[in-house]
Amino acid sequence: MSLLPITIYGDKILRKKTEKVFDVDIDTVKLIKDMFDTLKNASGIGLAANQVGADKQIFIVNLSEIEGYELSKPLVLINPEIEKFSEEKIVMEEGCLSIPDIRSEIERPKRVTIKFYDTNLKEQRIEASELLARVIQHEYDHLQGVLFIDRISGEDNKKLKKELNKIKQRKRDFDYPVTEHMDYQLL
């Protein structure tokens, strides 16, 4: 297992809708294990495959380091599809490993139902609420080429332009390995 460099704001793969997974082979299993190592190293709670350069519909979630979620099990979601969003919304602060040190209040549905496949390509379905629902929606967005900053109002987004440009140009320090500027697919 190894750490993978995280794709950063400006890398084209973050804006691409990812490809479906039809086979969980040894390379896919290694990717998933490496994603968990990368997530832990970066102190994150969710990571999508395109955030490590892989054009695959896979994301992982691990909330076990968060107070109140210590007993939650890590999740691997392959080819996920959100089937239902609650009408009730909740506002929470979000951040992203691909857009380090930028955080913003984002409104999202409080609960979701998501269908996905596990690593045995067996269909699963879970209903999630609160933080788990938030992370699922955030990571699902990544697989659609959507970033959380796309959900920030135009006025607030304008305020971020200077900082986003520094991230895009790698003119700042990062706390974990990141890609060189990337116009291609790594994995």
Q: Could you list the active site residues? A: 139
Contact call for residues 8 and 179 (beta carbons, < 8 A): yes
Contact call for residues 38 and 60 (beta carbons, < 8 A): no
Contact call for residues 116 and 80 (beta carbons, < 8 A): yes
Residue recorded with tokens 């607030």: 156
Question: Whose CA is closest to 133, among 105, 108, 111?
Answer: 111
Q: Is 62 exposed, middle or buried (0-12, 13-18, 19+ CB in 10 A)?
A: buried
C-alpha to C-alpha distance for 136 and 163, rounded to whole angstroms: 26
The dihedrals phi and psi of 104, each to the nearest 5 degrees, come to -155, 150
C-alpha to C-alpha distance for 23 and 2, rounded to whole angstroms: 22
Question: Whose CA is closest to 23, among 14, 31, 11?
Answer: 31
